[in-house]
Structure 1
């Protein structure tokens, strides 16, 4: 399953990514809303 994470704090995004990828999720990270919309 793919998840799009929109988070402007890189450390928090990295922490969330580690947890979700360890559970088998495929994660895309956007660091602002504009980037998130373009990836959706």
Structure 2
């Protein structure tokens, strides 16, 4: 029973954190793309 509750809480925590992780990855990817473009041009 406790495992189910823990898994459920972890699922909610991950769901809540996911938009932040996506935003972080987007920013990091965008920064890498911009850096590469700066190097090319």
Note whether the superposition's TM-score is higher than 0.5: no
Which gives a bigger RCO, structure 1 or 2 (Cα 8 Å, sep 6+)? 1
Greater helix proportion: 2
Q: Which has the larger radius of gyration?
A: 2
TM-score norm. by structure 2 comes to 0.37
Structure with higher strand content: 1
